[in-house]
Structure 1
Amino acid sequence: MGEFWPVRDALAYLAGNWQVRRTVRDLAGDGEGRFTGATHFGPLQDGDVRPSDAEPSPPESGGRLRGRGLLHHETGTFVWQGVARPAERTLRFLPGADPGTALVRFSDGRPFHDLDLATGRYVADHPCSADLYRGEFTVGDQDHWRTVWRVRGPAKDLVLTTDYTRDRSAPDGRRNRP
């Protein structure tokens, strides 16, 4: 992606269904895997909200939050060294201080990273034990975005590249720019 597409409202942009294609390259072991599947960003329901999500509203928001956030559920097939396995993950995207931002949390409520799509590009770090995950998020247009995670540590040397394409065939495919 050459140019970045600014996003006014990160949660509105992400909401809906996306087709997902991911490559996983193990630079230390020279292996490569592929994930293909789908991601749905739907509204968080009461049962999806954890006590750790109850952070105070940013002062500039006047005490208001832009909804409860989104539940991100990804399902598909991961193929590694010729062996295909079902794979899935769940994350929660909570409202950030500004509309172009979000707080990303693991399904159990632990913080993962901040996200700021206001300029269409953002870099986030996530330390995990002795490893460092550095993610670059880029938005190409209203229907395409990408993440590239570089993972480095004593036992890991990986690059995970994920391309997301809005699935307009799904019932809640979105057509308007957020």
Structure 2
Amino acid sequence: MTGTFNNRGGPVAGPAEAVALDDLVEHLCRVAREAGATETRVIDVKTVTVAPWVRWKCQYGCPGYGRSLTCPPFSPRPGETEKVLDCYRTGLLFLAPTSWLVRYLAAHLEHLAFRAGYYRAFGLGAGPCGLCEECNTGGACRRPGEARPSLEACGIDVFQTARNNGLNLTPAREPGEPCPRVGLVLLE
């Protein structure tokens, strides 16, 4: 194993090294579960499904459309998402009961991976951002260290991606019906 673990059990890389990927994902899975994630899966990024129709579901059905820099029309388009996904091989897919927790974990796990030497790590959350009372859609994000676009905002078919990785999610059929939320941290 390269890299070391700090006194809180977190991986910390030395100046020119990275913690072994297997050790990192084991640590990230444990952190996610301890924070409330109900499932964690290490996945091949090739199993992530991107489709242009997904953003239409945001535009025609989500009250967050156009209200946050992490949502359409400001978020990356499906073609851009596919190009970015091509830069990665490994991802950590996780489920949690709320969008808030997924957004928090996406940024937090990304930060931990970065500190462990995986400087290209990037997290994707779930649902509209909600970090600020009103988003600065006319300028720069006020909380760029925490704000992350959702999978669906980037054109990722969350349900198919989950199925591709052995998770069968069922959409909520009624308002207020529980439905797990999905996040992803890209690791390289």
Confirm or deny a common fold (TM above 0.5).
Answer: no
TM range (shorter): under 0.3
- When normalised by structure 2's length, the TM-score is 0.27
